[in-house]
């Protein structure tokens, strides 16, 4: 598929979205503007990613709780559950509401929430629809949470080397005992080995993860607490997950992105999500796309080769990005002005949060061989902005 | 104001938004969730910033065309116009529609748009409400634009050293002549000295800007084209703008942000916009806020001291940021868990685009001394997502 073909393919995707669950909910979303950079989802690739992770988890005897912050979509969450996910992981109260309403039997807020009366009221409604678990990493947050009589379990967060939130593994037993003494029910421990997001870090982060949760579980056991759930896993490290885990919570695997590609956690063929941009300028041997940080996201880790990749031009690099400009350098002839270009975001989660809709191309419902003026099939980013 | 005071102040801002122009438009926006990180606008500071730039432009005899991509708000655009702005600058067709509807007498799309039939139809409606100018930087885009008979003027974009879009200054005359031969009306030249976004770069970028537009104007004159408008100016460089300019297009000045602060383009007292986050974790001497890249933005230039600043803790640094975590290191005692903290984004424009509303605190309409359960006054981010 060359640039010209992409243009005609992506500008007019096939089949209308009539009858789709997420559309027409009166959520006030505008129809997608396909002249502006928009999110393009290859649903056949996404479905394959969902199946592959479900099979991998099942084969290894791991409970799969995909992190739904990546997609924020009820349509996609339901597909993950249908493929065998035990529940969905989320980061915020708003996401918990969206995915409980979408039918998830279990919701794990893998975040050390600071409880408030307003949040407790909303989570009470969530807990009526789904089994609810909430992250906890400090005695202070346990005391705050215990002021509300929420029908939820807590999960002790431990720091396995990413040095973000989470208590030290050796403190997990005391924290769990404190929580239990306050009347909270402890379901288990969890960690996020986010230091897997570094070249060569995937395997060693999985090692650190296993060591941390093993020490944490031993601490809980010493305190007389039997908590069966041991949850870990980031998309880069999940393939290396050790036997110490019972559950995994990968998120980005559903789409993949330039970070996963450059870390070796996926191939180009596994990338389901792109932002469709247009060549607007070709000054002095470079090319400028209109897909900048307001549509692709501004994530740019130091080890990345640029501000995202171009799906069909593997040698191209986005050397600079601003709100409405992606500056591309590449060998060979540049595509003509006006060409549609598929940009792979560095970080799918932040790219999705910039859009109201996925526009489907190919696979279930969508089609890459469209013509005419039919509206494209879209799925809503239901939890957009619920951060 | 200490952290505790901020909590009580910001959780319950005063006065309802009833009767505000931007609210209740049936645009489907949810009410702001004040338990989640939200945008807080000190409107008294914003009004002072708007006045100061208007006075500065008037004193120097410069036409002021504020870049509305920063705020995307009809309420704020109208205030800029009321203070003396000649028109508003935008980056996209969607923004042009919003600000033409808000009453801007002139709209300048300072971007090398690739024209399409759908865009031309929308811009025809814009041009019926406002004098419309569109950026142009290549013969190919001129030919494409000329296929549509839009009642708009074009502005030739030149590259003054930022090396993004824009033709070389020495090519401006030929491009203008080509555009004119196609029937397009050339109003002038413009540049964005974006390389002012670097330590020590403000003055020298203004030099480069003046040199580039002077050469471009000479080129137009040599081609027999008299085009009176010479537009430049970024927020960091605008104080240094040379006499070569007739118009300026600063954007971020309306709020200011951590980039402007660290470049020396504003003081802490000039910062009108923050994201209100909560302390959720305090592991091992650091502090974690829930205001991460999905609410503050992921911009992090290499020269910045971190991922944003804390308004009331000048020594604090956000040493790491992920979607829902900002990791803070700071000297002295850490605020208690649950404290509300005012985070200054690195880049206001991208932070605003992550939110549906501004929540007003202080000044016209809002109040910092609220109590009770009154809904906060909000302004809509009308052009959110129109990228």
Is 50 exceeded by the pLDDT of residue B26? no
CA distances for A46 relative to A53, A57, A239, A269, angstroms: 11, 17, 18, 11
A209 near A169, Cβ under 8 Å? no
pLDDT tens series, chain A, 387 aa: 333 333 333 332 322 333 333 333 334 567 888 999 999 999 999 999 999 999 999 999 999 999 999 999 999 999 999 999 999 999 999 999 999 999 999 999 999 999 999 999 999 999 999 999 999 999 999 999 999 999 999 999 999 999 999 999 999 999 999 999 999 999 999 999 999 999 988 999 999 999 999 999 999 999 999 989 999 988 889 888 888 999 999 999 999 999 999 999 999 999 999 999 999 999 988 999 999 999 999 999 999 999 999 999 999 999 999 999 999 999 999 999 999 999 999 999 999 999 999 999 964 343 333 334 467 899 999 999 999
The residue among B10, B31, B92 with the most chain A CBs within 10 A of its CB, best to mutate, is: B92
Residues across chain B: 387
Average pLDDT on B284-295 reads: 96
Q: Any bridge partners for residue B378, and if so which?
A: B359
User: In 3-state terms, chain A is what percent helix, strand and coil (to 5)?
Assistant: 35, 20, 50
Query: Which residues of chain B from 139 to 158 reach within 8 Å of chain A, CB to CB?
Result: 140-141, 144
C-alpha–C-alpha distance, residues B200 and A197, integer Å: 33
- For residues A79-108, b (16+ Cβ closer than 10 Å) or e, as one string? bbbebebbbbbbbbbbbbbbbbebebebbb
- Count CB-CB contacts under 10 A for residue B153: 19
Structure token digits, residue A64: 């799969």
CA distances for A124 relative to A96, A258, B83, B317, angstroms: 11, 38, 48, 36
Q: Which residues of B touch A337 (CB under 8 A)?
A: 114, 138, 140-141, 144
- CB proximity A112 to B under 8 Å: yes
pLDDT at A285: 87
State whether A28 and B26 contact (CB < 8 Å).
yes
B100 near B383, Cβ under 8 Å? no
Nearest residue of A to residue B164 by CA position?
A: A327
Closest CA to A272 of A340, A193, A364: A364
- CB proximity B20 to A under 8 Å: no
- CB proximity A58 to B under 8 Å: no
pLDDT at B241: 84
What value, to the nearest 5°, has the Cα angle with vertex A66 and ends A65 and A67?
Answer: 115
Q: Which residues of B touch A165 (CB under 8 A)?
A: 280-281, 283, 288, 325
C-alpha–C-alpha distance, residues A47 and A54, integer Å: 11
* Lowest pLDDT segment from A253-262, B167-176, B255-264, B360-369: B360-369
pLDDT at B29: 65
Average pLDDT on B284-305 reads: 96
- For residues A272-301, b (16+ Cβ closer than 10 Å) or e, as one string? bbbbbbbbbbbbeebbbbbbbbbbbbbbbe
Q: Residue for token digits 């809503």?
A: A380
Chain A: closest CA distance from residue B59 (Å): 31
- CB proximity B278 to A under 8 Å: yes
Structure token digits, residue A53: 């992770």
State whether B327 and A295 contact (CB < 8 Å).
no
Nearest residue, CB atoms, A322 vs list B137, B164, B298: B164
Average pLDDT on B369-384 reads: 75
- Count CB-CB contacts under 10 A for residue B139: 16
Query: Which residues of chain B from 309 to 328 reach within 8 Å of chain A, CB to CB?
Result: 320, 322-325, 327
pLDDT in tens, B97-147: 999 999 999 999 999 999 999 999 999 999 999 999 999 999 999 999 999
Chain B: closest CA distance from residue A116 (Å): 8
Query: Which residues of chain B from 207 to 246 reach within 8 Å of chain A, CB to CB?
Result: none
- Count CB-CB contacts under 10 A for residue B353: 23
Q: Which residues of A touch B278 (CB under 8 A)?
A: 114
Nearest residue of B to residue A164 by CA position?
A: B327
Backbone angles phi, psi at A297, to 5 degrees: 100, 160
State whether A294 and B387 contact (CB < 8 Å).
yes
Name the DSSP class of B212. H
State whether A336 and B140 contact (CB < 8 Å).
yes
- Between B74-82 and B93-101, two packed helices, what is the crossing angle to 10 degrees? 60
Residues across chain A: 387
Q: Which residues of B touch A387 (CB under 8 A)?
A: 36-37, 292, 294-295, 323-324, 354
- CB proximity B355 to A under 8 Å: yes
Q: Is the dihedral of CA A182, A186, A189, A191 positive or negative?
A: negative
The residue among B10, B35, B171, B257 with the most chain A CBs within 10 A of its CB, best to mutate, is: B35
CA distances for A41 relative to A138, B33, B269, angstroms: 39, 29, 44
Chain A: closest CA distance from residue B95 (Å): 12
Q: Residue for token digits 């885990």?
A: A245
B239 near B203, Cβ under 8 Å? no
Query: Which residues of chain B from 239 to 268 reach within 8 Å of chain A, CB to CB?
Result: none
Nearest residue, CB atoms, A283 vs list B34, B165, B323: B165
Residues 6+ apart with CB under 8 A from B200: none
Chain A: closest CA distance from residue B338 (Å): 6
State whether B290 and A137 contact (CB < 8 Å).
no
pLDDT at A364: 39
State whether A353 and B354 contact (CB < 8 Å).
yes
State whether B138 and A294 contact (CB < 8 Å).
no
The residue among A37, A38, A92 with the most chain B CBs within 10 A of its CB, best to mutate, is: A92
Q: Which residues of A touch B93 (CB under 8 A)?
A: 33, 35-36
Pairing label, strands A325-329, A317-322? antiparallel
pLDDT at A7: 34
B254 near B15, Cβ under 8 Å? no
Of B376 and B356, which is predicted with more confidence? B356
C-alpha–C-alpha distance, residues B128 and A329, integer Å: 39
Closest CA to A162 of B206, B327, B117: B327
Backbone angles phi, psi at B326, to 5 degrees: -120, 120
pLDDT at A242: 84
- CB proximity B28 to A under 8 Å: yes
Chain A: closest CA distance from residue B181 (Å): 20
CA distances for A276 relative to A255, A306, A310, A316, B123, angstroms: 15, 17, 10, 16, 22
Q: Any bridge partners for residue B313, and if so which?
A: B310
Q: How many CB pairs under 8 A join A and B?
A: 198
C-alpha–C-alpha distance, residues A48 and A53, integer Å: 9
pLDDT at B240: 87
Nearest residue, CB atoms, A114 vs list B163, B168, B337: B337
C-alpha–C-alpha distance, residues B138 and A288, integer Å: 12
Chain A: closest CA distance from residue B337 (Å): 7
State whether A284 and B92 contact (CB < 8 Å).
no
State whether B141 and A280 contact (CB < 8 Å).
yes
Nearest residue, CB atoms, B324 vs list A114, A284, A387: A387
pLDDT in tens, B317-350: 999 999 999 999 999 999 999 999 999 999 999 9
- CB proximity B161 to A under 8 Å: no
SS3 category, A169: helix
State whether A137 and B281 contact (CB < 8 Å).
yes
The residue among A294, A307, A325 with the most chain B CBs within 10 A of its CB, best to mutate, is: A294
C-alpha–C-alpha distance, residues A296 and A277, integer Å: 10
pLDDT at A25: 34
pLDDT in tens, B51-106: 999 999 999 999 999 999 999 999 999 999 999 999 999 999 999 999 999 999 99
Q: Cα B316 from chain centroid? A: 25
Q: Any bridge partners for residue B288, and if so which?
A: B281, B327
C-alpha–C-alpha distance, residues B380 and B387, integer Å: 16
Structure token digits, residue B69: 């991509």
Q: Which residues of A touch B139 (CB under 8 A)?
A: none
- Count CB-CB contacts under 10 A for residue B211: 15
The residue among A89, A114, A148, A380 with the most chain B CBs within 10 A of its CB, best to mutate, is: A114
């Amino acid at each position: 598929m060359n640039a010209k073909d992409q243009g005609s393919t992506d500008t007019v995707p096939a089949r209308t979205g009539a009858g789709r669950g997420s559309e027409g909910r009166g959520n006030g979303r505008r129809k997608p503007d396909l002249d502006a950079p928009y999110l393009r989802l290859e649903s056949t690739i996404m479905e394959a990613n969902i199946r592959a992770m479900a099979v991998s988890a099942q084969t290894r005897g791991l409970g799969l709780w995909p992190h739904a912050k990546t997609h924020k979509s009820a349509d996609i969450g339901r597909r993950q559950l249908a493929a065998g996910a035990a529940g969905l992981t989320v980061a915020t109260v708003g996401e918990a509401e969206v995915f409980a309403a979408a039918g998830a039997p279990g919701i794990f807020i893998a975040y050390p929430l600071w409880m408030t009366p307003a949040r407790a009221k909303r989570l009470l409604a969530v807990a009526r629809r789904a089994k609810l678990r909430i992250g906890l990493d400090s005695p202070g947050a346990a005391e705050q949470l215990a002021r509300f009589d929420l029908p939820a379990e807590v999960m002790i967060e431990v720091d396995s080397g990413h040095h973000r939130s989470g208590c030290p593994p050796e403190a997990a037993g005391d924290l769990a005992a404190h929580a239990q003494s306050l009347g909270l029910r402890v379901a288990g421990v969890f960690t996020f080995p986010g230091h897997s997001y570094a070249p060569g870090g995937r395997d060693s982060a999985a090692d650190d993860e296993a060591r941390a949760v093993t020490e944490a579980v031993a601490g809980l056991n010493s305190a007389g607490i039997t908590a069966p759930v041991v949850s870990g896993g980031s998309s880069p490290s999940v393939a290396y997950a050790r036997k110490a885990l019972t559950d995994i919570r990968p998120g980005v695997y559903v789409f993949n992105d330039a970070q996963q590609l450059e870390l070796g956690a996926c191939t180009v063929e596994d990338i389901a999500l792109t932002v469709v941009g247009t060549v607007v300028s070709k000054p002095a041997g470079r090319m400028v796309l209109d897909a900048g940080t307001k549509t692709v996201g501004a994530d740019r880790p130091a080890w990345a080769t640029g501000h995202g990749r171009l799906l069909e031009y593997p040698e191209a690099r986005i050397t600079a990005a601003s709100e409405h400009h992606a500056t591309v350098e590449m060998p060979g002839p540049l595509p003509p002005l006006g060409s549609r270009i598929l940009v792979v975001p560095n970080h799918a989660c932040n790219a999705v949060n910039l859009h109201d809709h996925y526009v489907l191309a190919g696979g279930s419902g969508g089609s890459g061989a469209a013509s005419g003026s039919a509206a494209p099939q879209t799925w809503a980013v239901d939890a957009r902005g619920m951060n």
